[in-house]
A and B are shown apart, each in its own frame.
Chain A
């Protein structure tokens, strides 16, 4: 990857470079383009990407350097001492305009039907650097419009400007060279390599890096005007890696997840599996509390759950169990642990979660739960496993069970005398429960996860909780009240603050600034 590229000079060496008449100092080894970005000088580019190698094929970032006879690609040329760079001379501006005219020559007139319109780099650069009307009125070279290149992706070869970013994502990120260029000149096309499909586990990153609408995600295309989406920074719940993401939602519906750069967690990428975790948020949700299968009010359901728990505590505390989930936020876990340790004093504590899955050495972790680290930290050393939970249910060691989350919890529930469930989805667990309380999901709540590196990361609400569902900590507060305990938390931030005092590894952690969702059309401007 680009970050690992060998610097030609020792990184500590400094060079003095003049850009547009202003002299600056940079570390040697940096490219002219990076130097320009560092000091806020705008240089447009298509093929360069901070996470990929630089082939200098688009010729959009050409700048003049004193002593060089021709404009040179700034994305490829390292800064040298006493270099004089000019990015705004008439010649550079003219070259930029000519390159854009050349790129647009065979570009189809697709903006009104193109998914990328509004977030298209070609549109942006044309408007900013060219803004001239067309000089040719001849026909355009026609290419294939709908090429089904992979499971998740459709390619429009006409729209492709041949920047090769997607080819490099396959080669350098997924390490599966599935895409390639074919033919030459104005007949050149992007295509899959013979016998290949664009099916690698990171294929949707090609859609993110595509500067135009050539590669579009089947899941997102034709569903939404991109500039009307609201972006909320969050963390992917798909596995223990915790890739940083932006949730793109509108009208309380999540439309897509895109990676948010974080150099120590996921760089610029995320896996395809993670992109689809949002679908669960809108499927088969438990919308309202249920008492013995019938819809009930929160008051009635909480009262009944507290009564059952209270009776179990009084009659047989040794067979009272609580199953926590590695899918839950630290705040939910901490609030339920308060419930377990003080009013409930339950002996049997289990940690459940999604079963292990496939993994690779790129981003995907075998642990499919976002917060196993946090659950182990907060749950303490007495946590028993999901297998033990199953055995205890079968063996009759458990009579009353409170399940929080519910991922990976399977029967036999008929051996239990009472089953109380706090869960987000309908299903067999929910159907077997005496009391089922609807739980808000990761995209609906404020909270924190510990990823596999032990990094504490924030999730933020992009949409409101489905139906009447509530965040877990709030349900713990409600149950606590019925059991005679005072868990005085008004919001997730207060739970977090309390957890920071109790949990050693969280001490000193910061909640972070409040961040309002930003509509994409206004991203990078005022909110």
Chain B
């Protein structure tokens, strides 16, 4: 017969954190346990799997495994004409599709050597829809993270604000989420006449929602306790790991492609690049909050200075001619036919073109062999590098810290796994 187990130690009600640590260490010695988080887990946005080794609640090691949302974007792109790739880019970072549209279009335009000939109005419209997308991206990130830390009200406020913005993008492009709005050489359709007044009104309401969220979270003790000082990244580490976007900036790395390598008409706008000081989860939250406000500044300036003019380049080898000419002249009819059936012919060459996506530097490395389809269309997804750093950040934290840390890294499966 087995020896009777010793009676459990009598316990006091534990109130203080220090005593809890003492209790765990003293009374419940544990051995490391493997723990699988995801790929299907409510907090693992976009199917990612973490293989953890935990010692009680403490994480001893973490192996973050991506790839569950791999759909072969890069391979698909090799079999599509240059224009047919836009819908695929919508599905990279699916909370800011416009930014992916713009990033891809700029890369192809440089290969075609028409990047200097894009009509100014088209460039302003690209900035406007892009910055709206940046706001929706950050709104989604902050809303979801707040909800996961118990602030469900904030989730409703911010997601509602996101919806107002998406309604506007839907009005412009015809689709709420997968816009496919940008074209090589410009954009697909002009803004409606009352777009700017509508956007101003929406921005006023969004600003209110962000202010509410700010007040509900920033000085909220529960929220701060879960965010402050957790998962600290130093500036040097940010550089070493290739972190960009809000994650890199929260660590003090003041790198923003819009400022450092201006594209479109970003050099004409007055805006700040917020930078964190501690590099913890709260800094990443605060940087995103401020970036939304800066994006709204850009939007207002862009609306004020929006020039009149065409929205698509006047080049029959790139842009579809007006329908009137297609139906009435053989020249435009041929151009229309060739553009639809064979697609744009991009001369042989290679390009690495990068823009500031929702999560950081969104790069497209494209090789053309002149056949009408890309020979290679590689994406540098910002959150691939950002997600990689989780392996280093998580050990030493508690299991509960994974939720805000992963939330603030903002891994977007469509973009990370492509």
The answer, yes or no, to whether A509 is at the interface (CB within 8 Å) is no
Question: B84 on the interface (CB 8 Å rule)?
Answer: no
Minimum C-beta distance from B30 to chain A (A): 58
Closest to B337 in A: A111
Q: Does A127 contact B (CB under 8 A)?
A: yes
**Is the pair B330, A127 in contact by a Cβ cutoff of 8 Å?**
no
Partner among A109, A131, A227 whose Cβ is within 8 Å of the Cβ of B315: A131
A526 to B376, CA, bound (A): 13
Complex: chain B residue closest to A522, CB-CB = B371
Given A109-B327, A112-B337, A134-B330, 14 more contacts at CB 8 Å? A109-B329, A109-B333, A123-B338, A126-B331, A126-B334, A127-B334, A127-B338, A131-B316, A133-B329, A134-B329, A134-B331, A227-B341, A521-B342, A525-B372
Q: In A77-119, which residues have CB < 8 Å from any B CB?
A: 104, 107-109, 111-112, 117-118
Q: In the complex, A111 Cα to B332 Cα: how many Å?
A: 11
Q: Flag whether B46 is at the interface (Cβ < 8 A).
A: no
A521 to B80, CA, bound (A): 12
B303-325 to A contact mask, C-beta < 8 Å, 1/0: 00000000000011100010001
* Separation of A123 and B317 alpha carbons in the complex (Å): 12
A108, B327: Cα distance in complex, Å: 11
Instruction: Output the residue of B315, B331, B371 with the most chain A CB within 10 A.
Output: B331
B316–A526 CB distance below 8 A: no
**What's the nearest-Cβ distance from chain A to residue B387, in Å?**
33
Closest beta carbon of chain B to A106's beta carbon, Å: 9
Interface residues of A (CB under 8 A from B): 104, 107-109, 111-112, 117-118, 122-124, 126-128, 130-134, 137, 227, 521-522, 525-526
Complexed CA–CA distance, A349 and B317 (Å): 65
Say yes or no: A118 contacts B341, CB within 8 Å.
yes
CB closest chain-A residue, reference B338: A127
Q: Taking A109-B333, A127-B334 as contacts, is the C-beta distance between A525 and B371 under 8 angstroms?
A: yes
**A-B interface contact total, Cβ < 8 Å:** 65
Q: Which residue of B is nearest A123, CB measured?
A: B334
**Does B335 interact with chain A (Cβ within 8 Å)?**
yes
Please, how many angstroms separate the alpha-carbon atoms of A133 and B335 in the complex? 9
Chain B residues positioned under 8 Å from A117 (CB to CB): 337, 341
B328 CB-CB contact with A under 8 Å: yes
CB-based closest 3 A-B pairs: A134-B329, A525-B371, A131-B316
* Known contacts A109-B329, A525-B372: A133-B321 contact under CB 8 Å: yes
Number of B interface residues in the complex (CB < 8 A):
23
Chain A residue with minimal CB distance to B339?
A127
* Inter-chain contacts of B369 with A (CB < 8 A): 526
Complex partner residue of A111 from B315, B334, B372, CB under 8 angstroms: B334
Cα distance A478–B342 in the bound complex, in angstroms:
47
Instruction: Given the known inter-chain contacts A123-B337, A521-B341, please indicate yes or no for A133 contacting B372, CB distance below 8 A.
Output: no
Inter-chain contacts of B317 with A (CB < 8 A): 127, 131
Hey, which chain A residues are within 8 Å of B341, CB to CB? Answer: 117-118, 227, 521
Q: Which residues of B contact A (CB under 8 A)?
A: 315-317, 321, 325, 327-335, 337-338, 341-342, 345, 369, 371-373
| A133 with B332: CB separation less than 8 A | yes
B331 touches A133 (CB 8 A): yes
Question: Given A133-B321, A137-B328, A521-B341, does the pair A526, B334 have CB atoms closer than 8 Å?
Answer: no
- Rounded to whole angstroms, the CA-CA distance of A104 and B327 in the bound complex is 15
Cα distance A128–B344 in the bound complex, in angstroms: 11
Q: List 13 A-B contacts (CB under 8 A).
A: A109-B328, A111-B333, A111-B334, A123-B337, A123-B338, A127-B334, A127-B335, A133-B316, A133-B332, A134-B330, A134-B331, A521-B342, A525-B372
B315 near A104 with CB under 8 A, answer: no
Nearest Cβ in chain A — how far from B178, in angstroms? 26
B112 to chain A, nearest CB (A): 13
Residues of B within 8 A of A137 (CB): 328-329
The complex places the Cα of A117 from the Cα of B340 at a distance, in Å, of 12
Partner pick for A107 among B315, B328, B330, B371, CB 8 A cutoff? B330
Name the residue of chain A whose CB is nearest to the CB of B371: A525
Which residues from chain B contact A124 at a C-beta distance below 8 Å?
338
Contact indicator B330/A108 (Cβ below 8 Å): yes
Task: Please give the distance in Å from A367's CB to the nearest CB on chain B.
Answer: 43
Distance of B10 from chain A, by nearest CB (Å):
76
Nearest CB on A from B374, distance (A): 11
Determine the distance from Cα of A124 to Cα of B341 in the docked complex, in whole angstroms: 12
Structural contact, B372 and A132, CB atoms closer than 8 A: no
- If A127-B317, A131-B315, A133-B321 touch, does A122 touch B329 (CB 8 Å cutoff)? no
Complex Cα distance, B316 from A389, in Å, reads 68
- Report the Cα distance A134→B330, complex, angstroms: 8
Does B334 contact A133, Cβ atoms closer than 8 Å? no
By beta carbon, the residue of chain A nearest B326 is A109
Q: What is the CA–CA distance of A112 and B330 in the complex, to the nearest angstrom? A: 11
- Min CB distance A322 to B, Å, is 50
Give the shortest distance, in Å, between B209 (CB) and chain A (any CB): 48
Given A111-B337, A117-B337; A130-B331 close (CB under 8 Å): yes
Instruction: Give bound CA distance, A132 to B330, whole Å.
Output: 11
Q: Do the beta carbons of B331 and A122 come within 8 Å of each other? A: no
User: Given A127-B338, A526-B371, is A132 in contact with B333 using a C-beta cutoff of 8 Å?
Assistant: no
Residues from chain B with Cβ under 8 Å of A107 in the complex? 330
Complex CA–CA separation, A109 to B337 (angstroms): 11
- Chain B's closest residue to A225 (CB) is B341
A133 near B325: Cβ-Cβ < 8 Å: yes
User: Whole-angstrom distance between the alpha carbons of A104 and B317 in the complex?
Assistant: 17
- Are the CB atoms of A104 and B330 closer together than 8 Å? yes
The complex places the Cα of A128 from the Cα of B372 at a distance, in Å, of 12
Q: List the A side residues contacting B328 at CB < 8 Å.
A: 109, 137
Bound-state Cα–Cα, A227 to B335, Å:
16
Provide the residues of chain B in CB contact with A104, threshold 8 Å. 330-331
Residue numbers in B under 8 Å from A109 (CB-CB): 327-330, 333
Q: How far is the CA of A118 from the CA of B329 in the complex (A)?
A: 18
A134 in contact with B371 (CB, 8 Å): no
Q: Shortest distance in angstroms between A379's beta carbon and chain B's nearest beta carbon?
A: 48
Q: How far is the CA of A108 from the CA of B334 in the complex (A)?
A: 11
List the A residue with the shortest CB-CB distance to B336: A111
Chain A residues within an 8 Å CB radius of B345 = 127-128
**Is there contact, CB below 8 Å, between A131 and B335?**
yes
Give the docked Cα–Cα distance between A112 and B331 (Å).
13
A134→B334 contact, CB < 8 A = no
In the complex, A131 Cα to B321 Cα: how many Å? 10
CA distance A137 to B331 in the complex (A): 11
- Distance of A196 Cα from B321 Cα, bound (Å): 44
Question: In the complex, A464 Cα to B57 Cα: how many Å?
Answer: 62
- Cα separation A111 to B333 with both chains bound (whole Å): 7
Closest to A134 in B: B329
Instruction: Give the one of B327, B329, B334, B371 with max A CB within 10 A.
Output: B334
- Output the least CB separation between B150 and chain A (Å): 54
- Distance in Å from the Cβ of A323 to the closest Cβ of chain B? 49
> Complex: how many Å from CA A112 to CA B337?
8
Measured CA separation A185–B330 after assembly (Å): 20
Tell me the complex Cα distance, A117–B338, Å: 9
